[in-house]
Amino acid sequence: MIVSIKGYLTLSKLVGERQVDLPDSDQTVRLLLAGLSEDIGEEFASQLRYDPSGQLEGNLVVLVNGRHCSHLPDGIDTRLGDGDEVAVFPPIAGG
């Protein structure tokens, strides 16, 4: 199963734009983020923070096919499918 991943803004240098060949259909957003943490290292891993329920805190924005993880049926435990596109954004502030 092939999943496309793209990092934006300050994460573009870390994550870049890549396609990942995942071994099976039981891959979730959580497992994908864990794999990216292993591949990229501490600079990416340090940005992943989870609340007590195990969901991502607001410090990182993850979209799957244009939908924020918090709006997916199972949050970051939603299963990924072949051809899915995952976008990762750092926290954004401004005004």
Burial class of 19 by CB neighbour count within 10 A (0 to 12, 13 to 18, 19+) = exposed
pLDDT confidence bin for 87, thresholds 50/70/90: very high
Q: What is the pLDDT of residue 9?
A: 87
CATH 3.10.20.30 at 2-89, yes or no: yes
Sign of CA dihedral 36, 62, 82, 75: positive
pLDDT confidence bin for 93, thresholds 50/70/90: low
Pairing of strands 67-68, 85-89: unpaired
| pTM of structure | 0.86
pLDDT confidence bin for 88, thresholds 50/70/90: very high
- Which tops the pLDDT comparison, 52 or 42? 42
